[in-house]
Structure 1
Amino acid sequence: MRPPEPQERTAALSGRYLALRARKRLWLCLAVLLLLAAALAACCMGVADLTPSRLLSTWLPPLRPLLGSVPLTETEQNVLLMLRLPRVAIAVVAGAGLGCTGTVMQAITGNAMASPFTTGLSNAAALGAALVVLFGGFPVYLQESAMVLAAFFMTMLCAALVYGISSLRGLGPETLVLTGIALNYLFSAVNSSMQYIANEQQLPAIIHWTFGSLTGGSWRDIAIMALFLAVVYPLFASRAWAMNLMSANGDESAAALGVHVRNTRLVLGVGVAFLTASVVSFTGIIGFVGLVAPHIARFLMGGDHRYLLPFSALCGSILVLVADTVGRVAFSPTTLPVGIVVSYVGVPLFLYLILRERWGRA
């Protein structure tokens, strides 16, 4: 049997590449459909009886005779527009931001266990909020805004310390991770001290913020988070090939192929810090999404960051939205914070991925 000609091998490789690209695009489309379905379910599920047929009867009156459903009352429309839709929107934006920042952190550190919070950003944000609760002295109507600004400031301060200290050692991935872990423990210790000296009125506010919650998010908050995402995500996407080379070949090979490794790591790290700060400042700590969403995406999509980034964002949105809906509905009338529920949902899934990968190697 004659060996295949170069043209035949090229045609076969091209066919496999096109099939793989089509499969990745199919996964992206399926993820978008799943996100839309989860958003519709989140809008409908709850104490108020907001079924899809009633939504259609309200917004498309000509369909009422066919559907046979009663349109929403004015009160129910207010529940949908002022409570449930903002909650869905903030879950989608926050999940997308945490998902893609987790992917970038794993790429620039070369560590599959890295996440936006590996660098201590979460505990820094919690410390900023705790400082305002304990020592702020702000009027009630300014308390929330002051907590957001303080959390954002402390998050950026933590990022500046991590990258500043790491740059003294050449800004390598190991130095980034180790410096972040050290600062993470430091901020955690200071935050625990703040909780220890807080009184009975201050302590619940501090603890509730550290759990992570989507309650009370306004359209203004969502617009600010979406603006950060819209600015930072193109920065990530423009360096997808650089992340591919750094992840697959290491720093030296990536540099030999024309990637300015140190500059890329610094620029992407600053983008991660800004986007993470914009999310945790409004939602509190939702720490597990940035770890598990990239792994889910990589398991289904592979390591090409051109597709991995958007799919990680979609996986993060779905994970946060589903976790928030479960926490809101499963224990009604009590609402569990999304930061707690997302661990219940994400940990079994993450363990399954680890075991499946091990079984595949075996």
Structure 2
Amino acid sequence: MEENRTNQFHLYNAFLRRKRLVFLIAAVATVVAALFAVGAGSLHITLPDVVKTLFGNGSDLSQMVIFNIRLPRVVAAIAVGAILAVSGAVMQCVLRNPLASASTLGVSHGAAFGAAVGIIVFGGGVVNSDSAATAVSINNPYIVTLCAFICGSLSTFVVILLSQLKKDLGPGGLILAGVALSSLFTGGTTLLQYFADETKISSVVFWTFGNMGAASWTEILILAIVFAASITYFLLNRWNYNAMEGGTDTAKSLGVNTRAVMLISMCICTLTAAVAVSFVGIISFVGLVAPHIMRRFVGNDYRYLIPCSAAAGALLLVLADTFGRLVIAPVILPIGAITSFLGAPLFLFLLFRGFKSND
């Protein structure tokens, strides 16, 4: 009997080591991809020169290119990818729906509507005639970001309010409410564009493409603070999420206040995702695909799924943004289109294979 317990103990430790190894591999791959992305572009900078520049020993030209242009873009991709992936993983748990994400609950569509309000109603869009490659830009990013954040958050707050007014509205009902609100926001965006001039329509379309280069160091600092605060809360509640994976009744029997955990987690997921989307535009599929990829390797243990999803989301977005910058350089393809093209086939593959974990 004692020998059997010892064997089980060793097997369990090996199982945990494998999960830690998955996170380590994903984190290292993200760092390597980020270093490559920082050096890649019309001005190619070798990896040793990138490292030297990051430590303050590079040439003036490489320092200007890296610290002013490329590094903010790469760090923004890491932060946004991690935020969207972690938010998606937690939403899928508390709603008990594998298709839950910021897009499903209308955060992205709400943010797009808010951006349209900021650009069309408050005049945040402008045409820049200096270059065809940058023909459209955002004239007042602060009002556009604020409007996008408010409307992106509004969607899920309405969904949460409905869940409070109608107590028997289950996770499936919350998803349907989110889909209905997404349709409502899409209709509102279309109407605003119908009455706008070409300049403002172009600015709205440009914003919805998604752009990692739109985030400055100030926005990146905000993203980092938001991510650190949210992932700290999620990790503190990792055992509650593990209990909820066994079902609501099981979680309640273990002393988990499932409704409070769901509402607070949903509020945090919504706010963090809205912040990310409001800064860089619409990014599709990262919040859906990244958690499911990691579930294949670490299962539904949220002690490991949360940090692994963050690493996977960051890696996916860095790779997608780098691909968009290099595939037909010097033209930069919209990041939203890249994540859709890369994410949709992968998500369909996961869908047909089923959402079974290795746990």
Q: Which shifted more, 294-303 or 72-81?
A: 72-81
Q: Which shifted more, 177-186 or 165-174?
A: 165-174
Q: Which residue identity lines up with residue 206 of structure 1 in the other structure?
A: V
Change (3 A) 1:263 1:323: same
Q: Is the Cα–Cα contact under 8 Å of residues 230 and 272 in structure 2 kept in the other structure?
A: yes
- What are the superposed Cα offsets for residues 151-181 of structure 1, whole Å, 9 maximum, x if unpaired? 1111122121110011122263122212111
1:28 pairs with 2:26: no
Distance apart, 1:353 and its partner CA: 3.3
Matches within 5 A, 1:1-362: 5=1, 7-56=2-51, 72-137=58-123, 143-170=140-167, 172-247=170-245, 249-357=246-354
> Which residue pairs with 2:129 in the alignment?
none
Distance, in Å, in 1 between the alignment partners of 2:145 and 2:55 is 39
Q: Which shifted more, 71-80 or 181-190?
A: 71-80
The percent of aligned pairs where both chains have the same amino acid is 37
Change (3 A) 1:114 1:219: same
Distance apart, 1:184 and its partner CA: 1.1
Distance, in Å, in 2 between the alignment partners of 1:328 and 1:336 is 6
Distance, in Å, in 2 between the alignment partners of 1:358 and 1:242 is 21
Q: Is the Cα–Cα contact under 8 Å of residues 166 and 179 in structure 1 kept in the other structure?
A: no
User: TM-score normalized by structure 2?
Assistant: 0.91
Q: Which residue identity lines up with residue 213 of structure 1 in the other structure?
A: N
Distance apart, 1:234 and its partner CA: 0.9
Change (3 A) 1:56 1:85: closer
Distance apart, 1:360 and its partner CA: 11
Distance, in Å, in 2 between the alignment partners of 1:139 and 1:266 is 36
Distance, in Å, in 2 between the alignment partners of 1:359 and 1:14 is 25
Q: Is the Cα–Cα contact under 8 Å of residues 169 and 175 in structure 1 kept in the other structure?
A: no
Name the Cα RMSD after superposition. Answer: 2.2
Distance, in Å, in 1 between the alignment partners of 2:141 and 2:176 is 33
Distance, in Å, in 2 between the alignment partners of 1:337 and 1:45 is 17
List runs of 5+ in structure 1 lacking aligned partners: 62-70
Q: Which residue identity lines up with residue 287 of structure 2 in the other structure?
A: G
Distance apart, 1:198 and its partner CA: 2.1
Distance, in Å, in 1 between the alignment partners of 2:125 and 2:298 is 49
Distance, in Å, in 2 between the alignment partners of 1:179 and 1:28 is 34
Change (3 A) 1:251 1:81: same
Q: Which residue identity lines up with residue 198 of structure 2 in the other structure?
A: E
- What are the superposed Cα offsets for residues 183-204 of structure 1, whole Å, 9 maximum, x if unpaired? 1111111112222222110111
- What count of residue pairs does the alignment treat as equivalent? 346
> Which residue pairs with 1:66 in the alignment?
none
Change (3 A) 1:358 1:209: closer
Q: Which shifted more, 133-142 or 186-195?
A: 133-142
Q: Is the Cα–Cα contact under 8 Å of residues 295 and 357 in structure 2 kept in the other structure?
A: no
Q: Is the Cα–Cα contact under 8 Å of residues 95 and 320 in structure 1 kept in the other structure?
A: yes
Larger radius of gyration: 1
Q: Which residue identity lines up with residue 78 of structure 1 in the other structure?
A: M
Change (3 A) 1:56 1:314: closer
Distance, in Å, in 1 between the alignment partners of 2:60 and 2:174 is 53
Q: Which shifted more, 87-96 or 341-350?
A: 341-350
Q: Which residue identity lines up with residue 98 of structure 2 in the other structure?
A: A
Change (3 A) 1:139 1:108: closer
Change (3 A) 1:148 1:253: same
Distance, in Å, in 1 between the alignment partners of 2:298 and 2:196 is 46
Distance, in Å, in 2 between the alignment partners of 1:112 and 1:138 is 37
Distance apart, 1:344 and its partner CA: 1.8
Change (3 A) 1:359 1:229: closer
Distance, in Å, in 2 between the alignment partners of 1:337 and 1:185 is 23
Distance apart, 1:359 and its partner CA: 11
Distance, in Å, in 2 between the alignment partners of 1:160 and 1:336 is 33
Q: Which residue identity lines up with residue 71 of structure 2 in the other structure?
A: L
- What are the superposed Cα offsets for residues 52-100 of structure 1, whole Å, 9 maximum, x if unpaired? 1333555679xxxxxxxxx854233201110000001000000000010
Q: Secondary structure at the match of 1:286?
A: coil
Q: Which shifted more, 190-199 or 212-221?
A: 190-199
Change (3 A) 1:125 1:72: same
Q: Which residue identity lines up with residue 12 of structure 1 in the other structure?
A: N
Distance, in Å, in 2 between the alignment partners of 1:294 and 1:53 is 33
List runs of 5+ in structure 2 lacking aligned partners: 127-137
> Which residue pairs with 1:64 in the alignment?
none
